[in-house]
């Protein structure tokens, strides 16, 4: 049974854009869905915070920090974040969809991996973390669940939800957020997180890939935390005899309990890994580990959670956990030499993961190592029916039936859905229901000419179309407020459901607007109303060159066309503004002109015949008197 049917978000569309198709995974803080971006017509993963946590500002801030942090990385081995938003009670991240499985799936089904395969997975992980560390971020929650392996063999690091700036690393108190099995000692004891906690976690992951199990086990999280604090990670060759010493040294160096003894960041560890690979021969890299399946634990060791940190015992000055009593300390494990790991250096070639998949005999191209009872349904979205049948057959699955439905997202003839969905596991030789797109459902655009706007909108909605942009135009024959035309037109081809139809609505017959500026208000009103227009008067009067009580300006310019019944607003003049006239006698004529014109007057220069002087001798309006703005002042220069 597909449990996603019980999920209220499946089938919904967030933010009017992201259609949720299926639930992929659920965690302690969020659920991940496969969705379709209906704007860009692409499949993506939608990570939705649990609504109960959306009310917690700290969790929301962490969610948004993940989006911003990952968006800055833009690294091929980091799951890209495209968008972040909130729709009602749902806060989400829109991320790259990686069709495939997690490293946890591989370890659960396969157990220990060949050293070559383990390094081929670890190197792109370290490359991604190295880019994050150089950008100033610490992941803080590295574990196999956050390593995605795509159908095409690409390895990507996911879930930067606990990411924190290197510059903001602090010593927290009380608790630490992370996953028990991969926490560095300093995270547990002091709450310190810098790039070296990611290095430690990668060392644990490497040990787990080489041996098929975690280095520190316990009956409770408290026991696991105690061992992180008090025991060295044992050499993987203890669990898998015959592993090369270089691999023991890598694990020892990466998981040193003292952070100063570890590589300072993921890039430094990547250099050591490549150096170790160069020193190992094919026999060491391709040694076949025991094929026991990895131990499956159902405890909280694999889940990101808030974990109480140890507090200092005031009597013994040792560390203890504040959550529960601890068992007696286990026998100390062998302390692997850290010094010898420092000799690893050099760079080796990075082998393609896809080639290793063939070595593992994974037939279908999906890196998912099946136990034989279950098979992973391949991702068939967007494939043709023939391609889908071929891929299902290659995976050992059949076609239960083929349904056909309309879709505005998937091209006609391509797979728009499968049941179970891609990525789900079903029993071998099972059958899948494949739904093929019939393309968008189409309807005819109705003839709306002459219909009132609201009635036209209702008819479009009833036909399965969407009312689009409304523009207006003059019309001699269509009444004002009714539809003149549509785009697309009614006589054109059928259109897909929800297609927007633009409407052109009549403004009625055009009416030339008479010019009434300078006319008395009553005359102006009569002229406009006689043309079929409505008239309003602005509440405030203004100064203008027009006499008081006449029209200073009109809202619709003279000579333009308006619709019958349109309103023209008239502003009444208070008459021209009175401005004090300065004394410009004795000034040069050009300077006097500039002074007067700057105050809003017009200026006339009167220069006597045969006068060779340019100095102002008199002015028509004496200094100190006021004159109307825009009136003319005459200045006269001296004569002979």
User: Which residues are catalytic, by number?
Assistant: 141
Secondary structure (3-state) at 595: helix
> Of 224, 138, 143, 217, which Cα lies nearest the Cα of 180?
224
Q: What are phi and psi of 122, to 5 degrees?
A: -65, -40
Phi and psi angles of residue 571, each rounded to the nearest 5 degrees, phi first: -105, 125
**CA nearest 535: which of 549, 516, 550?**
516
Residue with tokens 């929800």: 498
The answer to whether 319 touches 310, Cβ cutoff 8 Å, is yes
Q: Which two tokens stand for residue 505?
A: 């609505």
Q: In terms of Cα–Cα distance, which of 111, 186, 99 is closest to 144?
A: 111
- Residue 561's SS3 state is strand
Q: Which residues contact 448 (CB under 8 A, 6 or more apart)?
A: 456, 459, 460, 483, 486, 490, 503
Phi and psi (nearest 5°) for 21? -100, -40
Beta strands in 507-631 (DSSP E): 510-512, 534-537, 551-554, 561-563, 567-572, 578-580, 602-606, 616-619, 626-628
Vertex 289, ends 151 and 183: CA angle to 5°?
70
The sign of the torsion formed by the CA atoms of 423, 427, 429, 432 equals negative
| Number of residues that make up the chain | 640
In angstroms, the first-to-last Cα distance of the chain is 114
Q: How far apart are CA 375 and CA 161, in angstroms?
A: 30
CA pseudo-torsion sign 520, 523, 526, 528: negative
Residue 506 belongs to what H/E stretch? strand 500-506
Segment (H or E) for 147: strand 147-150
Rounded to the nearest angstrom, the gap between the alpha carbon of residue 553 and the centroid of all alpha carbons in its chain is 51
Estimate the crossing angle of helix 266-279 against helix 245-254, to 10 degrees.
Answer: 170
Mapped onto helix, strand or coil, the DSSP state of residue 520 is strand
Regarding beta strands 561-563 and 510-512, do their DSSP bridges make them parallel or antiparallel, or are they unpaired? antiparallel
Q: Nearest-CA neighbor of 353 among 79, 186, 175, 153?
A: 153
Check: CB of residue 558 under 8 Å from CB of residue 589: no
Handedness of CA 479, 480, 481, 483 (dihedral sign): positive
**Alpha carbons 12 and 87: distance in angstroms, whole number:** 11
Q: Which of 33, 29, 30, 7 is nearest to 20 (CA)?
A: 33
Question: What's the rounded Cα separation, in Å, for the pair 33 and 37?
Answer: 12
> If residue 433 lies in a helix (H) or strand (E), which one and from where to where?
strand 431-437
Q: How far apart are CA 395 and CA 422, in angstroms?
A: 12
Phi, psi of 415 (to 5 degrees): -70, 125
Residues 6+ apart with CB under 8 A from 209: 103, 107, 112, 113, 117, 118, 121, 122
Residue 554 in contact with residue 536, Cβ under 8 Å?
A: no
């Amino acid at each position: 049974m597909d449990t996603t049917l019980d999920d209220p978000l499946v089938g919904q569309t967030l933010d009017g854009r992201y259609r949720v198709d299926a639930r992929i995974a659920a965690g302690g803080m969020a659920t991940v869905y496969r969705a379709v971006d209906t704007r860009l017509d692409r499949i993506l993963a939608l990570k939705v915070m649990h609504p109960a946590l959306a009310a917690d500002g700290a969790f929301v801030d962490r969610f948004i920090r993940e989006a911003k942090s990952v968006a800055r990385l833009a690294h091929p081995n980091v799951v890209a974040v495209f968008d972040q938003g909130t729709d009602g009670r749902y806060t989400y991240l829109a991320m790259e969809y990686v069709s495939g499985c997690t490293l946890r799936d591989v370890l659960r089904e396969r157990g220990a991996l060949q050293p070559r395969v383990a390094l081929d997975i670890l190197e792109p992980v370290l490359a991604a973390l190295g880019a994050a560390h150089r950008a100033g971020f610490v992941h803080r929650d590295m574990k196999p669940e956050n390593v995605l392996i795509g159908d095409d063999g690409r390895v990507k690091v996911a879930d930067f939800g606990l990411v924190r700036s290197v510059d903001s690393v602090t010593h927290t108190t009380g608790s630490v957020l992370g996953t028990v099995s991969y926490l560095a000692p300093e995270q547990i004891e002091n709450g310190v997180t810098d790039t070296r906690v990611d290095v430690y976690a990668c060392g644990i992951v490497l040990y787990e890939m080489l041996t098929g199990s975690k280095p520190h086990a316990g009956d409770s999280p408290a026991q696991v935390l105690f061992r992180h604090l008090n025991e060295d990670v044992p050499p993987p060759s203890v669990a898998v005899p015959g592993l090369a010493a270089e691999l023991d040294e890598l694990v020892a160096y990466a998981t040193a309990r003292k952070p100063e003894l570890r590589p300072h960041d993921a890039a430094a560890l990547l250099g050591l890994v490549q150096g170790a690979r160069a020193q190992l021969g094919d026999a060491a890299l391709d040694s076949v580990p025991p094929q026991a399946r990895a131990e499956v634990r159902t405890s909280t060791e694999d889940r990101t959670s808030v974990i109480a940190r140890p507090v200092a015992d005031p009597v013994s000055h040792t560390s203890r956990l504040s959550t529960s009593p601890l068992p007696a300390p286990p026998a100390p494990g062998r302390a692997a030499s850290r010094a010898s790991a420092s000799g690893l250096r050099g760079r080796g070639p990075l082998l393609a993961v896809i080639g290793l998949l063939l070595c593992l005999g994974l037939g279908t191209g999906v890196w998912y190592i099946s136990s034989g009872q279950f098979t992973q349904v391949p991702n068939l979205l967007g494939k043709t029916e023939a391609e889908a049948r071929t891929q299902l057959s290659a995976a050992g699955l059949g076609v239960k039936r083929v349904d056909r439905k309309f879709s505005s997202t998937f091209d006609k003839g391509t797979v728009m859905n499968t049941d179970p969905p891609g990525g789900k596991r079903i029993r071998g030789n099972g059958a899948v229901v494949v739904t093929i797109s019939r393309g968008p459902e189409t309807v005819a655009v109705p003839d709306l000419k002459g219909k009132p706007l609201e009635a036209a909108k209702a008819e479009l909605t009833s036909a399965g179309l969407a009312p689009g942009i409304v523009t207006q135009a003059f019309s001699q024959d269509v009444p004002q407020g009714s539809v003149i035309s549509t785009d697309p037109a009614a006589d054109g081809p059928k259109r897909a459901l929800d297609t927007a139809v633009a409407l052109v609505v009549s403004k009625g017959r055009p009416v030339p607007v008479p010019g009434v500026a300078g006319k008395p208000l009553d005359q102006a009103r009569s002229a406009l109303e006689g043309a079929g227009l409505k008239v309003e008067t602005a509440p405030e009067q203004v100064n203008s060159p027009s006499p008081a009580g006449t029209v200073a300006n009109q809202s619709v310019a003279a000579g333009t066309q308006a619709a019958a019944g349109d309103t023209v607003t008239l502003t009444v003049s208070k008459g021209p503004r009175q401005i004090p006239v300065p004394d410009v006698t004795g000034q040069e004529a050009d300077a006097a002109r500039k002074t007067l014109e700057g105050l809003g007057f017009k200026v006339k220069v009167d220069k006597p015949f045969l006068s060779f002087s340019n100095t102002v001798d008199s002015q028509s309006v004496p200094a100190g008197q006021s004159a109307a703005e825009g009136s003319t002042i005459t200045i006269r220069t001296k004569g002979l």
